[in-house]
Structure 1
Amino acid sequence: MEKLRFGLVLMVLCLSTSLVKGGDPTVTFEWKVTYGTISPLGVPQQVILINDKFPGPVINGTSNNNIVVNVFNQLDEPFLFTWNGIQQRKNSWQEGTLGTNCPIPPGGNFTYHFQVKDQIGTFFYYPTTALHRAAGGYGGLSVHSRALIPIPFDINPADEFFVLVSDWYTKSHTQLRKFLDSGRSMGRPDGVIINGKGGNGDGKDEPMFSMTPGKTYRYRFCNAGNKDSINVRIQGHTMKLVEIEGSHVVQNMYDSLDIHLGQCVSVLVTADKDPKDYLLVASTRFTKEPHTATSIIRYTNGKGPASPELPKAPIGWAWSLNQFRSFRWNLTASAARPNPQGSYHYGQINITRTIKLVNTAGTVDGKLRYAFNGISHVNPTTPIKLAEYYGVEDKVFKYDLMKDEYEPPAGKAEEKITLAPNVVKVIYRNYVEIIFENHEKSVQSFHLAGYSFFAVAIEPGKWTPEKRKNYNLLDAVSRNTIQVYPNSWAAIMTTLDNAGLWNLRSNSLERQYLGQQLYFSALSPKRDLKDEYNMPDNDVLCGIIKDMPLPKPYSV
């Protein structure tokens, strides 16, 4: 019996370590995902909790750490997490979208294994199934520099605080889903919350953060919301921007920062004001009636409440565009590796393919749908990644239904929208230019999984090849999300050097659910472990491949 038990333990350890790089430290978590009743906006409602917490636990890691998260799904629906901004080299198996993974069934569990390889920065995780993100289930994920890599700060922060801001609905995620499934919109959110709470600025809440006079602190902000851009600011204090989504940036000072859907930044704040309470303020942007939430920052020897007068948010999206233009990559700082970030001369690489994505909307059978270039994505019952691995693509989806160039119909003509899995085949390691063109009156935000890209331009109007002369080809920030202002375009550039299947999606929950997403399939020319890992032994199987024999695994 003892020999059998030892053999089982050894086998489990081997399976676990086979999916992560040996020699680097492993950080392990065990999460139970449940429902609970709390009142983020003063109204009791059902919220998704992780280990009885909302937001969920912060994952604190260091560059090259192996992250192991054992998830027990105790909801009544299938469930998945995604790790927003973590590149997961060669490992889209852990991406946690319905195109890459079968969801964890109710009562089941799945263990995610991934490595934060050569990454630093501020990120977050959230659910990708149904409309679960509207019910919570999200949390922060920070990756620190290794000890041998110098941090480009004048002073080491005394502490750091994760600040997850989000617009919020008091309606349940099931009710919101019924709206969308019936052809209606989700409507406007009901308020804003900061770390799961919706302070109203009266100064009567318990302090959320504490600072010692004279010391400097790092605040990591992420917009984990559903629909709106959010502006953050701190009464009486300026913020020194030091990092955006994994890149050290030129350290400019800001009174406030616009954080668009899915985006993360980190700032340094020094406690150099009169010792009392101050309010951290978060409010929605580009909405007719902005929602605002506050949380209290208390000086440890503070005497006196915060002023009831809140610092005002900026007005208009032109201000936000100018702020974007002020963001610059810090070319003198080290990255997660001991070499300067600026050694990657992205502006000197020849573009091999240009893909222009126009975000479009229309109706199919009388129901609202969103699309890229007229294709509204539908998740097949067999995940795309599994269909590719098992060689049954032709039974599940078709590649390249979407054209690289697209022009929506002029005037009030009804746009034709096709419902289908939207899978774009790309050549592994090609250097591509992606244009996002927004013909609508609202600000949009998009995320590319599996890669960092260079956000080289945002401008009003329509994109043309002549616009390339306005690109920032020297110090554009390397990041993973990009906003696009009304009737404007944005350009990004990236090398598709991460083999696998990777999701490009709208960060708007409504748009994402109703089809505004696609998958890039960057297939390795040969089944080689140097390019991509094998399917994990613990992967959940579903659809037509569930009972099929395993394919021949990749080899070195």
Structure 2
Amino acid sequence: MEGKMMLTALLCIATVAVVNAGDPYFFYTWNVSYGNAAPLGVPQKVILINGQFPGPNINSTSNNNIVINVFNNLDEPFLLHWSGIQHRKNCWQDGLPGTTCPIMPGQNFTYHFQPKDQIGSYFYYPSTSLHRFAGGFGGLRVNSRLLIPVPYADPEDDYTVLINDWYTKSHTSIKNLLDSGRALGSPDGVLINGKSAKMDGKDQPLFTMKPGKTYKFRICNVGFKSTLNFRIQNHKMKLVEMEGSHVLQNDYDSLDVHVGQCFAVLVTADQAAKDYYMVASTRFLKKEMTSTGVLRYVGGSAQASTVLPKAPVGWAWSLNQFRSFRWNLTASAARPNPQGSYHYGKINITRTIKLVNSQQVVNGKLKFGLNGVSHIDTETPLKLAEYFQMAEKVFKYNVIKDEPGAMIKQLTVEPNVLNITFRTFVEVIFENREKSMQSYHLDGYSFFAVATEPGRWTPAKRENYNLLDAVSRHTVQVYPKSWSAILLTFDNAGMWNIRSENWERRYLGQQMYVSVLSPEKSLRDEYNIPLNAGLCGIVKGLSKPIIYS
């Protein structure tokens, strides 16, 4: 087994070492298995990574090579996805059903990826089936290299805070429920780092702070459908980074963290030495659910007050908070040039794509979709079919229109893949015509979230765009009966997922892929398929072509 692990790692490294020479390598072995836990007091089967729930944190630095050998000890195929990591020229490591064959039970696969020219707060999770409902998620941080200045003093310590809604049903029960055509319903509670404090004075602290010191907290919503408001008793939070971008440093009493989003804040231990509660509670649901975790001052002995700070009310408050977020144009990025040198507001838009979400009952089963198409994953990953020039046997390009029209009459169920020209500057509008909260993520890229407003989008709305200092990020929320606009250059060749971060909606079709093909078959634009990549579906057993050089 050890020989197999070493060979797999060496094969993976060999595929990209030619372009990553000189950057440090960090090796991990992860064993994925089932275990028992009771996060909300109800015993249930969860997914462990090396015996941990949540999984281990990855602590890396810009341009590090991260090599993770994942052994699947489950009874189902399994994949891990690294949310927010851009995988420049390397969608093979994205770990999604559209790009990668799953790791079969009893087998392993070695991921090798590099957060190239990235910093920030991210997380990973299982992308197959509904495994995310059982766990398997964890934090992933990318620190700035020492030669790149950071716009705040080094904190005393760096903590990862994973907040999420949670169901006490097993992931298999949830899958059976959704496969039968029924809706999921509301979650059963909220967790902070896989736990919910009992508030009986006996809870152990999740984190400790020394009086007078300042700490960084990386807060990620790794949940399924609920926006969560996060706050700390008696403490201000200074927002310094979100999803890979330094931001203007404003103080907040609480933050709405939408599904899939990560914020980094600085918290100073400037209160009396005692315990305090961190609080996470649901937003925009009929019934508010709250979880707490203990934050303890070193040397303190008094228990935390059971009087918790209240969450804000209404989504207008959340919309105004979104508008307060601004990119820090004076801070350096992950590479030695100022972020503000990229004047995105002065680039001409070459294409506008409006994506409208909807839901319908199709053949007696609930489905969700974008622009009238409910996406289904294929036995042959889309990228593999494309790479082996067999795409026409698996999917069709551009089954949706860039402008879906005023009404979506009927959902069709099929793979949804949009072809986008390499290195074009594109405007994407997410228009939510429903009454529910939406959150969308784009793999492989950061985009500029330039606006979110109530109502329907029209070209006249461009007058309201922030074309100067909108935050570069990878997830954007869309409020009920509202729209959000993003701008980006599609300069990362590969097959990339656009999805709802509401996992009921994603599983039932509210996602799609964008194919970005380089006209020049060159390693400058995209890496070859890794030598250790599995082949499945109609490409199983074929020889791996070496197209690029």
Same fold (TM > 0.5) = yes
Q: Say if 2:9 and 2:69, in contact at 8 Å, map to a contact too.
A: no
Aligned-CA RMSD value: 1.5
Match of 1:458 in 2: 452
Q: Find the aligned partners of 1:171 and 1:88 in 2 and give their Cα distance.
A: 34
Change (3 A) 1:302 1:12: closer
Q: Report whether the alignment pairs 1:18 with 2:12.
A: no
Please give the residue correspondences for 1:174-213 in structure 2 after superposition, counting only pairs within 5 Å.
174-213=172-211
1:121 aligned partner = 120
Which residue among 288, 296, 301 is the counterpart of 1:298? Answer: 296
Report the secondary structure of 1:218's partner residue.
strand
> In 2 relative to 1, CA 343–449 (structure 1 residues): closer, same or farther, beyond 3 Å?
same
- Report the alpha carbon displacement of residue 12 of structure 1 after superposing the two structures with TM: 6.1
Residues 395-428 of structure 1: CA deviation (Å, up to 9, x unaligned): 1110000110013538xxxx30011100000000
DSSP-derived class of the 1:214 partner: coil
- Check if 1:496 corresponds to 2:503: no
CA distance in 2, matches of 1:235, 1:144: 28
- 1:482 and 2:482 matched: no
CA separation of 1:212/1:11 partners in 2, compared to 1, >3 Å: closer, same or farther?
Answer: closer
1:65 is aligned to 64
Mapping of 1:303-452 within 5 angstroms?
A: 303-407=301-405, 409=407, 415-452=409-446
| C-alpha distance after superposition, 1:337-392 (max 9, x if no partner) | 11111000000000000000001110110100000000110111111000011000
Deviation at 1:437, TM superposition (A): 0.4
Residue 514 of structure 2 aligns to which amino acid in structure 1?
Answer: F
CA contact (8 A) 1:223 1:261 kept: yes
Cα distance in 2 for partners of 1:69, 1:9 equals: 11
Once the two structures are TM-superposed, the CA of residue 442 in structure 1 deviates from its matched residue by 1.3
Q: Which amino acid aligns with 1:521?
A: S
- Tell me how far apart the structure 2 counterparts of residues 29 and 164 of structure 1 sit (CA, whole Å): 21
Kept after mapping to 1: 8 A contact 2:75/2:105: yes
Query: Match for residue 287 of structure 1?
Result: 285
Cα deviations by residue, 1:287-331 (Å, 9 ceiling, x for unpaired): 111110000001001131000100000000000000000000000
CA distance in 1, matches of 2:103, 2:442: 23
Distance 1:442 1:201, change over 3 A: farther
Q: Which residue, 269, 272, 284 being the options, matches 1:271?
A: 269
Distance 1:53 1:399, change over 3 A: same
> Tell me, what secondary structure is at the counterpart of 1:111?
strand
Per-residue displacement from partner, 1:412-468 (whole Å, max 9, x unpaired)?
xxx300111000000000000000000111110000000000000000000000000
CA contact (8 A) 1:201 1:293 kept: no
1:141 aligns with 2:140: yes
* 1:463-474 equivalent positions in 2, closer than 5 A: 463-474=457-468
Please name the residue that 1:85 is paired with.
84
Task: Structure 1: state its 5+ residue gaps.
Answer: none
Aligned counterparts of 2:12 and 2:280: Cα–Cα separation in 1: 44
Match of 1:49 in 2: 48
**Is contact 1:232-1:282 (8 Å) kept?**
yes
Displacement after TM superposition at 1:551 (Å)? 2.3
C-alpha change, 1:318 and 1:10, in structure 2 (3 Å) is closer
State the partner residue of 1:99.
98
Instruction: Name the CA distance, whole Å, in 1 between partners of 2:165 and 2:386.
Output: 37
TM-score with structure 2 length normalisation?
0.97
Offset of residue 526 of structure 1: 2.5
1:64–1:117 contact (8 Å) kept in structure 2: yes
TM-superposed deviation, 1:198:
1.5
Contact 2:9 2:110 (8 Å CA) reproduced: no
The alpha-carbon deviation at position 146 of structure 1 amounts to: 0.3
Q: How many residues align?
A: 545
Contact 2:9 2:67 in 1 (8 A): no
Query: What TM-score does the superposition give when structure 1 sets the normalisation length?
Result: 0.96
In the alignment, the residues of structure 2 paired with residue 233 and residue 98 of structure 1 have an alpha-carbon distance, to the nearest angstrom, of 35
Compare 476-485 and 155-164 and name the one that shifted more. 155-164
Identity of aligned residues (%): 63
Quick check: 2:225–2:504 contact (8 Å CA) kept in 1? yes
- In the alignment, structure 2 segments of 5+ residues that lack a partner are none
How big is the shift at 1:10? 8.6
Q: Is the 8 A contact 1:241 1:251 kept in 2?
A: yes
C-alpha distance in 2, partners of 1:178/1:198? 27
Matched residue SS, 1:78? coil
Instruction: Give the match for residue 536 of structure 1.
Output: 530
- Measured in 1, the distance between the counterparts of 2:500 and 2:247 equals 25
Q: Distance in 2 between matches of 1:540 and 1:115?
A: 20
